[in-house]
């Protein structure tokens, strides 16, 4: 099975930046679409960003409207890592951020939690204002 471990969360001021990392086990990492989701207290888990496996869609990226232009998802298939660079952070970005892996890719479903087969435990991001 695939193990995902997030890191890089912390406390930042509004307008600041953080880079989240997700380390994945498994030699087939490069075949998985990878996503970042977040969940704030009292809210449902929310899609943030995703990046397809190059074998499926040439590492096509997707972003929630709320983070578009501020966050960037990337992956390093050699290191089995996926990253979320978060810039211009807002207090509304405060949440637990989790990475997830999907064995299949769907443009329609990429934003849906049920596409993903494996989940990390999450890392807390707190943005103060």
**How sure is the predictor about 118, in pLDDT bands with cuts at 50, 70 and 90?**
very high
Q: Quick one: pLDDT at residue 125?
A: 98
Q: Give the strands of the sheet with 18-24, arranged side by side.
A: 4-7, 18-24, 81-86, 71-76
C-alpha neighbours within 13 Å on the C-beta side of residue 52: 17
Q: Quick one: pLDDT at residue 54?
A: 79
Q: Quick one: pLDDT at residue 105?
A: 84
pLDDT digits (tens, 9 = 90+) for 27-43: 778 889 999 999 999 99
What does the mean pLDDT of the chain come to?
Answer: 94
């Amino acid at each position: 099975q695939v193990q995902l471990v997030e890191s890089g969360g912390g406390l930042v001021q509004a307008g600041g930046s953080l880079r989240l990392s997700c380390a994945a086990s498994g030699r087939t990492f490069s075949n998985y679409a990878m996503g970042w989701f977040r969940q704030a207290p009292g809210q449902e888990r929310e899609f943030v960003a995703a990046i397809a496996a190059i074998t499926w869609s040439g590492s096509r990226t997707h972003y929630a409207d709320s983070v578009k232009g501020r966050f960037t998802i990337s992956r390093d298939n050699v290191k089995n890592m996926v990253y979320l660079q978060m810039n211009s952070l807002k207090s509304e970005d405060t949440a637990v951020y989790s990475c997830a892996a999907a064995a299949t890719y769907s443009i329609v479903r990429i934003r849906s939690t049920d596409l993903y087969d494996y989940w990390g435990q999450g890392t807390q991001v707190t943005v103060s204002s």
